[in-house]
Amino acid sequence: MKTFYSEDHRLHHANAELNDGQLVPVFEKPSRADMVLARVEAVNLGPVLPPEAFGIAPLKRVHAGEYIDFLAGAWAEWAALGRTNDMLPLAWPPRRVQARCPKDIDGKLGYYSFDAGAPLTATSWQAIYAGSQVALSAQAAVAAGDRAAFALCRPPGHHAGIDYMGGYCYVNNAAVVAQAFLDGGMRKVVVLDVDYHHGNGTQDIFYQRPDVLFLSIHGDPQTEYPCYTGYADERGEGAGLGYNHNYPLPVGSDWSVWSQALQDALRVAAGCGAEAVVVSLGVDTFADDPISQFKLRSDDYLRMGEMIAALGLPTVFVMEGGYAVEEIGINAVNTLLGFEQ
């Protein structure tokens, strides 16, 4: 299978994030993509290709235009104030507050985010944009007839909602891919999110729509980030009712538990008449992940890929989380190798 990749991911490398009450070096760092690329090459997965140019319009099909414009122009506003450190939000509108977007950049940062987990640097937008073009290039390859393609995106995307960033995510690459399939003429697409964390952004984007079935397997929100979404009773709304399926699993879940949720998700996917699958491929389900608490082993990703392949649908894999940097390449690429078996 083809891998799409851009060196521009390096342009997003923030300094610090909050963890256990302290600013610590970011977990979501450039070496993650380097390790995945090295593994793609080591196992000869297939050609590694640069992205083609699709522009910004496909991003605005799933995100609010004003939000994308904010991302693209945020650093300029920050720098104009003489600020040089990474941008981080520090205030959010709580319940009962009518959220109006202020002029102040600190206010805007809170308005367009749900946590302080998505820092912006001087060059982050270039990386974010390049990542979206990587995703669209993988989609185009599959739309043109490839059985599957791998979008080696960085930064990840599944926490980014219609008009907010958070959790290392800015543009929801998987949602952009799903929408691109629909805009290309498909009538139904599945997004299968196997990242440790609930794909709250993808859920937000498609919650009221029946044309994208969203399936997510993740740590139980009662104890795990992103804390407020991912419950099993979030089933979609209006025309989208029944097209959102969450599988919250307890801390410590291993393959025997995790694979049962996947089995059920795949049963739902197989019955919905979808014409393509987008996999939000996070490998932070790995036992040694530093910020997550499932117990998958490297070989389990081979089985995961094999099970997804059994759907028999055109598939785009979009890289999401995974912070055990030494093993991220093995685990992500094992999923792809399992798929190709």
Residue whose structure tokens are 């963890």: 19
User: If we measure between CA atoms, which residue out of 266, 141, 256, 248 comes closest to residue 203?
Assistant: 248
86, 120 contact by CB (below 8 A): yes
192 near ligand SP5, judged by CB under 6 A: no
Among 157, 219, 282, 329, binds Zn ion (CB under 5 A): 282
Residue with Cβ nearer ligand SP5 (305 or 322) = 322
Which of ligand SP5, Zn ion, none has residue 199 at its interface (CB below 5 to 8 Å by kind)?
A: none
Question: Considering only residues 188-207, where is the footprint of Zn ion by CB under 5 A?
Answer: 195-197
Angle ∠(279,281,284) on CA atoms, nearest 5? 150
Residue with Cβ nearer ligand SP5 (70 or 225) = 225
167 near ligand SP5, judged by CB under 6 A: yes
Smallest distance, Å, CB 15 to ligand SP5? Answer: 16
Among 33, 169, 191, 296, binds ligand SP5 (CB under 6 A): 169
Smallest distance, Å, CB 97 to ligand SP5? Answer: 24
170 near Zn ion, judged by CB under 5 A: no
Which residue's beta carbon is nearest to the bound ligand SP5? 321
The CB-side HSE value for 79 (13 A sphere, CA atoms) comes to 8
Could you give the dihedral angle defined by the CA atoms of residues 27, 31, 171 and 258, in that order, rounded to the nearest 10 degrees? -70
Smallest distance, Å, CB 114 to ligand SP5? Answer: 11
117 near ligand SP5, judged by CB under 6 A: yes
> Across 130-183, where does the E strand assignment appear?
148-151
**Lookup: tokens for 266:** 């795949």
User: If we measure between CA atoms, which residue out of 248, 134, 262 comes closest to residue 199?
Assistant: 248
> Which phi and psi angles does 9 have, rounded to 5°?
-55, -30
Q: Is 170 helix (H, G, I), strand (E, B) or coil?
A: coil
111 Cβ partners below 8 Å, 6+ apart? 93, 99, 101, 102
Which residue's beta carbon is nearest to the bound Zn ion? 321
Residue with Cβ nearer ligand SP5 (90 or 97) = 90
Among 70, 129, 150, 168, binds ligand SP5 (CB under 6 A): 168
> Across 243-291, where does the E strand assignment appear?
244-249, 276-281
| Beta carbons within 10 angstroms of residue 289's beta carbon | 23
Site size with ligand SP5, rule: CB under 6 A:
16
Question: Considering only residues 260-289, where is the footprint of ligand SP5 by CB under 6 A?
Answer: 282, 284
User: What is the sign of the dihedral through the CA atoms of 43, 47, 53 and 59?
Assistant: negative
**Lookup: tokens for 75:** 């650093």
20 near ligand SP5, judged by CB under 6 A: yes
Q: Is 197 a catalytic residue?
A: no
Instruction: Give the interface segment with Zn ion, choosing from 118-126, 229-237, 239-247, 282-290 (CB under 5 A).
Output: 282-290
Q: Kindly list the residues in this chain that would bind Zn ion in the complex (CB under 5 A).
A: 195-197, 282, 284, 321
Active site residues: 159
Q: Kindly list the residues in this chain that would bind ligand SP5 in the complex (CB under 6 A).
A: 19-20, 117, 156, 159, 167-169, 195, 197, 225, 282, 284, 291, 320-321
